[in-house]
Amino acid sequence: MPWTQTVRVWQATGRMRLFCWQNREMSHADAPLKPAPEARSAYPAFHSITTRWMDNDAYGHVNNVVYYSWFDTAVNAYLMEHGALDTHAGQAIGLVVETHCNYFAPLSFPQTVQVGIRVAHVGNSSVRYELGVFGDSERTAAKGHFVHVYVDAQTRRPVPLPASLKTVLETLL
């Protein structure tokens, strides 16, 4: 049975925006693909992270919010190691504006994980990173993405990606 839903969303500017969509019965051919684990070979770069005791939750596995921290740590460490990010003197900074994660297998302390890094899209002032978290398996325990929008460090207005950053990003495409 079709339905329509309207959602009112307040924007940071204080204005309201209306979003409207319609549900329709979908055949299996129209259905979105179910997320699936990926192989290590899908990622051109890796960053190792050692889990901590505090990463585990009451269920004995790494809590979901920790993965987002790993995403941010892996990308920023990679950029710093390759001279594309200077957190003290850089004129442009990357702000995370979108993030997502799918989970496939549990990880827990004590364990070292590897975060695979790749770039899916480079825009004028933004980058979409895709990340895979690996434990002992050759398949991702989790995978996700986040989007950095690069802004002027003082004004917080979007700026074109610095040339040094673009050069490093090309190695991750």
Position 33 scores a pLDDT of: 83
pLDDT digit string (tens) for the chain, length 173 residues? 444 344 444 444 445 444 444 444 444 555 568 999 999 999 999 999 999 999 999 999 999 999 999 999 999 999 999 999 998 888 999 999 999 999 999 999 999 999 999 999 999 999 999 999 999 999 999 999 999 999 999 999 999 999 999 999 999 99
Residue 30 pLDDT = 59
HSE-CB at 95 with a 13 A cutoff on CA atoms is 14
Helices assigned H by DSSP within the chain? 64-81, 163-170
| Domains in the chain, CATH or no CATH each | 36-170 (3.10.129.10)
40, 141 Cβ separation under 8 angstroms: no
pLDDT of residue 26: 42
